[in-house]
Structure 1
Amino acid sequence: MDVLAFVIGVLVMVVGLAVSIALHEIGHLVPAKRFGVRVGQYMIGMGPTLWSTRRGETEYGVKAFPIGGYISMAGMYPPAKDEPTAAVDSAAASARAARRRGIYATLVQDAQAANAETLEGVDDARTFHRLPVWKRVVIMLGGPIMNLVLAVVLFAVLFSGIGMQQATTTVAAVSECVLPPGSTATECAADDPEAPAHAAGILPGDRLVELDGTPVETFAEASEIIRAHPGTAIPVVVERDGARVPLTLTPVENEVEVTADDGTTSVETVGYAGISSSVERVCEPIWAGPQAAADNVAAVVGIVVDLPARLYDTAYDLLTGGERDADGPMSVVGVGRLAGEVAATDAPILDRVAVMTSLLASLNVALFVFNLVPLLPLDGGHILVALWDGARRAVAKLLGRPEPAPTDATRLVPLTLVVVVLLIGMGALLFAADIFNPVQLLGG
């Protein structure tokens, strides 16, 4: 393995992840500032701060580990009813008192104390919790939407810019003979029957134009016609050196095993010609990128829905050394390792760029879907709280009652802590699996 190329691949993915996180947080930052919310910090990464600078009222910085990011908005939660908004010392005193009342009260009070710090010296009109529900939803949706937009752009570059490898109607090679089923021979014997395409005069470089009177645009269409005519002579038109050449092809009968949708198998007799197609990168229509992103979103949603079972399978495979599901969950360590392996292969540079682009696009889809899970501290949890507030206000208005106060989500901190612990556990499991039992996409 080319160690330098491997390292470059990992670094490219780390930078790509950092950019994805940065854009995610910009998706929160821009609407927050547009709606007048005071933003104290915009940070990329977690852990110790490596660099920061202040622009106006906001500190912008980069932290050591590119595994997340955040913006600090004033008043994410309403102030505690029994706390002065700016009374940090009072909040600290109440926190000490809460510790004497139990762990639940302690967690809630600590969260309220931290929230009180963001409210200190800030006009109440510039706090997040005072915004209309739709503005709160827009701010929290901004991050995931940025990841989705980036994924769509990357898939569009992949499908419509770089192009996807497809079998074309240009003939790459023609077999000279038909080898017996299961044969490992690399050369034809004297008694091996001549391959139909070779007997018909088809040559490497010919482009298949028509088969059995039907124009073909893909190799799959040509293969389907050949398979449908075992033992039957069919007219073929190929393009050779700019001219159309008519030929006659008689596919031989070939028995293949076919698996039905219900899992049952059967043996069918199909036609075989003995040709292989050339593979080229074909740029697809501009809508192919968004369609790929949508398909990827659906796939990731399925993974998230089945996450407990998939994590169990990952843990089982880690302990037993079993082969992991390539479509299962993976940590940033696994994605980085795959990027390094791709960069270190002997494939053409364009092929490596295409795979890296696909990995980064899929990573952004995962960020989009996962952040919308309706649990705090994820963006989806904050959206759910905002929608709950909106529903309460709508009911109050319908019943002619005063508008209720914003929901104090700090009281959900114990549940949030459980979610955080589960996320840390999931991350630890996937990290271990990606190090000791990684997904094998490029061979063991």
Structure 2
Amino acid sequence: MLAYIIGVVLFALGICVSVALHEAGHMVTAKAFGMKVRRYFVGFGPTVFSWRRGETEYGLKWIPLGGFCDIAGMTALDEVTPEEAPRAMWRFKTWKRTVVMSAGSITHFILGFVVLYLMAVTMGLPNLTPVDTSPVLASTSCARSATTEQQVQDTSCPPGTPRPAQEAGLMPGDKILSVGGKPVASWTEMLAAVQATSGRTEFDVVRNGQNLALIVDVPKVQRLTSTGVRDVGMIGASPVQPAVTTQYGPVAAIGATFSFTGTMFAETAQRLVQFPERIPAVVSAIFGGERDPNTPVSVVGASRIGGEAVERGIWVLFFFLLASLNFFIGVFNLLPLLPLDGGHIAVVWYERVRDWLRARRGKVAGGPVDYTRLSGITMVLVLIGGAVTLLTVTADIVNPIRLQ
């Protein structure tokens, strides 16, 4: 239990640090371009302590959930003092404002990449893509009927159950080359060939570099398959499982991490597209339905999973989740919706394109976008975001996703 609590706290702390660094990304780039940064605080609520260095006040708040960066004049509607007006953010060039507003997401991407790189050179990167294993035996067991999911997962062998592979002389480490004269190159091909046969069948194998021909008496048993319960051939054997992670040297890890990051970006984009259609499953889980592990989770749910990972000693999963969450937050924050940074970036580029079109027609540049006209849409999106957050937090409390 203590390990679980420590894991939850560590994961929550990792998220808080990530969000705080997100705001630091805005601050650093804004200062680099000469914008006026009034305040940078970690957390929310009452102030624990603060100090002033130069023109910026830095501090810590009591509620350690993220932070904020107060840049003068982020929009033309923001109040600024006469002293701040020349350095108001909205007065700067479009590309500079874009860099500042996207710096938070870029910080998340860098953090995720760094976490993955450190994993690659220490504990290894997870193998996300299922790999069809080679037809090499890891162990032999029995051939028995299993018509339910529970029976399939039961690996016990009742007395008297036939052991075709073992009785024919097949041994762990044997690589199967063909079944009944049909060549097989993978465990999937071997399994299909075995399921389609019965009776005395010749298996060509390689053992310690020597080719052997063994006769296996393949029985027909009832098994639960993807198409239902049916009679299939079975010899009672398990494959050598591929490595769960792959470790790299310091140089090779760079390319591997970039490749892995690309895969995670693709999966993140796919999850964002599927996000709306998975909300009903979250609602169902709140009212007693089975929780789909692919449904969205809140910070609470992610922290709980992180705690379970630490409790079981699965640190690879802990850091993988932390990197995944950074990528998700980074991509989500760039969506062109207010009040997200992506929404502000969209407004900035709308102004830029609009003024370019006006210049082509001999007109002067238009004024800054009036954000009050967008307040209705912004409020709706805030309410939707709040509702989704409330739903996921509730589901993660009453019916959380658990590690299997």
Q: Which TM-score band applies after superposition, normalised by the shorter structure?
A: 0.7 to 0.9
Normalising by structure 1, report the TM-score.
0.74
Q: Tell me the residue number matched to 2:326.
A: 364
Q: Please give the alpha-carbon distance, in whole angstroms, between the structure 2 residues aligned to 1:135 and 1:151.
A: 24
Q: Tell me the residue number matched to 1:387.
A: 349
Mapping of 1:65-214 within 5 angstroms?
Answer: 65-78=63-76, 112=77, 115-116=78-79, 118-124=80-86, 126-158=87-119, 161-163=122-124, 164=126, 171-175=137-141, 177-181=142-146, 186-187=156-157, 189-190=159-160, 192-197=161-166, 199-203=168-172, 206=173, 208=174, 211-212=177-178
Structure 1 residue identity aligned to 2:37: V
* Residues 23 and 68, structure 2, Cα contact 8 Å, conserved in 1: yes
Structure 2 residue identity aligned to 1:173: S
State yes or no: 1:277 paired with 2:240: yes
**Of the candidates 181, 199, 202, which is equivalent to residue 233 of structure 1?**
202
State yes or no: 1:336 paired with 2:297: no
User: 1:394 offset after TM fit, Å?
Assistant: 1.0
Q: Please give the alpha-carbon distance, in whole angstroms, between the structure 2 residues aligned to 1:293 and 1:401.
A: 45
Runs of 5+ unmatched residues, structure 1:
79-111, 214-218
* Residues 9 and 343, structure 1, Cα contact 8 Å, conserved in 2: yes
**1:244-297, Cα deviation, whole Å (9 max, x unpaired):** 3443345636676654xxxx6695856645234356444167455444444443
- 289 and 272 in structure 1: CA distance in 2 versus 1, 3 angstrom threshold: farther
* Residues 105 and 333, structure 2, Cα contact 8 Å, conserved in 1: yes
**1:31-59, Cα deviation, whole Å (9 max, x unpaired):** 21121111111222222233333222222
Structure 1 residue identity aligned to 2:205: V
Q: Please give the alpha-carbon distance, in whole angstroms, between the structure 2 residues aligned to 1:293 and 1:140.
A: 22
- 407 and 72 in structure 1: CA distance in 2 versus 1, 3 angstrom threshold: same
Structure 1 residue identity aligned to 2:325: L
Q: SS of the counterpart of 1:233?
A: strand
What RMSD in Å do the two structures reach over aligned CA positions? 3.3
**Of the candidates 34, 39, 49, which is equivalent to residue 51 of structure 1?**
49
Structure 2 residue identity aligned to 1:325: D
State yes or no: 1:311 paired with 2:285: no
- 388 and 253 in structure 1: CA distance in 2 versus 1, 3 angstrom threshold: farther
User: 1:381 offset after TM fit, Å?
Assistant: 0.8
**1:142-201, Cα deviation, whole Å (9 max, x unpaired):** 1112212322333344456423378788754322x43345577834645x4442255234
User: 1:123 offset after TM fit, Å?
Assistant: 4.7
Q: Tell me the residue number matched to 1:88.
A: none
Range 276-285 or range 138-147, more displaced: 276-285
Q: SS of the counterpart of 1:54?
A: strand
Q: SS of the counterpart of 2:380?
A: helix
* Residues 48 and 62, structure 2, Cα contact 8 Å, conserved in 1: yes
* Residues 143 and 219, structure 2, Cα contact 8 Å, conserved in 1: no
**1:280-315, Cα deviation, whole Å (9 max, x unpaired):** 444167455444444443444344444444333322
Structure 2 residue identity aligned to 1:144: S
Q: Tell me the residue number matched to 1:104.
A: none
Q: Please give the alpha-carbon distance, in whole angstroms, between the structure 2 residues aligned to 1:300 and 1:366.
A: 6
Structure 1 residue identity aligned to 2:13: V
Q: Tell me the residue number matched to 2:15.
A: 17
Q: Please give the alpha-carbon distance, in whole angstroms, between the structure 1 residues aligned to 2:67 and 2:113.
A: 22
Range 291-300 or range 49-58, more displaced: 291-300
**1:292-345, Cα deviation, whole Å (9 max, x unpaired):** 444443444344444444333322331x21122211121111111222222223
Q: Please give the alpha-carbon distance, in whole angstroms, between the structure 2 residues aligned to 1:424 and 1:440.
A: 24
User: 1:384 offset after TM fit, Å?
Assistant: 0.6
* Residues 168 and 280, structure 1, Cα contact 8 Å, conserved in 2: no
- 169 and 389 in structure 1: CA distance in 2 versus 1, 3 angstrom threshold: same
Q: SS of the counterpart of 1:228?
A: helix
- 45 and 154 in structure 1: CA distance in 2 versus 1, 3 angstrom threshold: same
- 57 and 221 in structure 1: CA distance in 2 versus 1, 3 angstrom threshold: farther
* Residues 226 and 272, structure 1, Cα contact 8 Å, conserved in 2: no
**1:320-378, Cα deviation, whole Å (9 max, x unpaired):** 21122211121111111222222223xxx3xx211111211121122112211212211
- 172 and 410 in structure 1: CA distance in 2 versus 1, 3 angstrom threshold: same
Runs of 5+ unmatched residues, structure 2:
none
Q: Please give the alpha-carbon distance, in whole angstroms, between the structure 2 residues aligned to 1:17 and 1:30.
A: 20
Range 192-201 or range 380-389, more displaced: 192-201
Structure 1 residue identity aligned to 2:17: V
Q: SS of the counterpart of 1:405?
A: coil
Q: Please give the alpha-carbon distance, in whole angstroms, between the structure 2 residues aligned to 1:331 and 1:181.
A: 38
- 185 and 35 in structure 1: CA distance in 2 versus 1, 3 angstrom threshold: closer
**Of the candidates 189, 197, 214, which is equivalent to residue 224 of structure 1?**
189
Q: Please give the alpha-carbon distance, in whole angstroms, between the structure 2 residues aligned to 1:209 and 1:376.
A: 58
Range 273-282 or range 424-433, more displaced: 273-282
Q: SS of the counterpart of 2:186?
A: helix
Structure 2 residue identity aligned to 1:121: E
Q: Tell me the residue number matched to 2:366.
A: 404
* Residues 173 and 276, structure 1, Cα contact 8 Å, conserved in 2: yes
Range 275-284 or range 366-375, more displaced: 275-284
Q: SS of the counterpart of 1:162?
A: coil
Q: Tell me the residue number matched to 1:376.
A: 338
Structure 1 residue identity aligned to 2:399: N
Normalising by structure 2, report the TM-score.
0.81
Range 278-287 or range 326-335, more displaced: 278-287
**Of the candidates 271, 276, 289, which is equivalent to residue 322 of structure 1?**
289
Q: Please give the alpha-carbon distance, in whole angstroms, between the structure 2 residues aligned to 1:419 and 1:40.
A: 28
